Amino acid sequence: MEASELRAALEAILFVSNEPVNVDDLVEAFSDEGREAVVAQLDEIKRTLDASIGGFMLEQTAGGWRFATRAEHDPILKKYFSKKGENRLSLAALETLAIVAYRQPITAPEVSDIRGVNSTAVIRTLLERRMIRVAGRKNVVGSPFLYRTTKDFLVHFGLNDIRDMPRLEEFGDLIGESMNEDLVMAIANAPQTPESEVIATDESASEGEITAAAIAALDGEEAPRAEESGTQLESTTTESDANADVVVYDDRDQPQPMRDGKE
């Protein structure tokens, strides 16, 4: 296959893919061409798009490659899609994601404790949207579920690895919202569950079964009493968390959030 044909085929795969494409999968699809040829054409696609400074680029995220819009176009994309009724993640969801991201693995009661309000409804929705996942149970009384962020979380925020997360104080720049300073301090001072306290989930259960069990547990969980909350925060949410909806950009139809300096 000619280099130009290989490049065109790679572009076609990247264009129709709903998630980042792994290089190993591409190498397997073009086994006659070899890894070096595939990687070389990916680099060529990226170089061409970077040089043209067009409306989109090729970026590496969540361990794969995808086409994505440029950071400088984010404001106009948000404005355009807001007119079509599409919203970003709710503030309640962003707060909850920040807590999970920086203190994972973490339980639902611990999230609610840090936020100062019952967060089970938001956690339930984030589970359903696959922004967070069950990461085992905590070895304490009641064995509550522990949560971590997912690959979808990385894709949504344009991160290649959880280690690419900015400093906690800079998380507001990543999400495009100013973070409540009291909440930032609460997250920074919250204890983190050591791996020695993590109990693995049943290996015979599917991810869907584990998620369903976690949602059922959340639905049956009582809201924490005010006097049991470890922090007293002013709520920065403009709506009840119980009614807060979480809307995630669709990979093919909506713009992908980007970070400045991460092109």
The Cβ of residue 7 has, within 10 Å, a number of other Cβ atoms equal to 19
Three-class secondary structure assignment of 134-175? EEEEECCCCCCEEEEECHHHHHHCCCCCHHHCCCHHHHHHHH
32-36, 56-60, 174-178: the lowest-pLDDT one: 174-178
What domains can you pick out in the chain, each with its CATH number?
3-73 (1.10.10.10), 91-228 (1.10.10.10)
CA 232-94-121 angle, 5° bins = 75
CA 152-198-141 angle, 5° bins = 120
Amino acid letter, 56 = F
Residue 222 has pLDDT above 90, yes or no: no
Higher per-residue pLDDT: 47 or 86? 47
- What pLDDT, in 10s, does the model give residues 83-123? 544 446 788 899 999 999 999 999 999 999 999 999 999 99
Q: Span 62-88, mean pLDDT?
A: 74
Q: Span 160-181, mean pLDDT?
A: 83
φ, ψ for residue 212, nearest 5 deg: -60, -40
Higher per-residue pLDDT: 103 or 260? 103
Torsional class of 234: left (φ above 0), alpha (ψ -120 to 50), beta (otherwise)? beta
Q: Span 67-77, mean pLDDT?
A: 84
Residues with Cβ within 8 Å of residue 20, at least 6 apart in sequence: 60, 61, 62, 63, 64, 65, 66, 155
What's the pLDDT at 6? Answer: 92
Q: What is the mean pLDDT of the chain?
A: 80
Residue 242 has pLDDT above 70, yes or no: no
53-67, 74-88, 174-188, 232-246: the lowest-pLDDT one: 232-246
3-class secondary-structure state, position 213: helix
Higher per-residue pLDDT: 217 or 80? 217
Report whether the peptide linkage leading into residue 257 is cis, meaning its omega lies within 30 degrees of zero: no
User: What is the reported pTM?
Assistant: 0.57
pLDDT band at 161, cuts 50/70/90? Answer: confident
Residues with Cβ within 8 Å of residue 87, at least 6 apart in sequence: 247
Q: The tokens 């959880």 sit on which residue?
A: 162
**Cβ density class 182-207: b for 16+ within 10 Å, e for less:** ebbebbeebeebeeeeeeebeeeeee
What's the pLDDT at 119? Answer: 93
What's the pLDDT at 73? Answer: 84
pLDDT band at 246, cuts 50/70/90? Answer: very low
- What pLDDT, in 10s, does the model give residues 131-156? 999 999 999 998 999 999 999 898 88
Most confident range, picked from 23-37, 152-166, 169-183: 23-37
φ, ψ for residue 146, nearest 5 deg: -105, 150
What's the pLDDT at 226? Answer: 34
What's the pLDDT at 88? Answer: 64
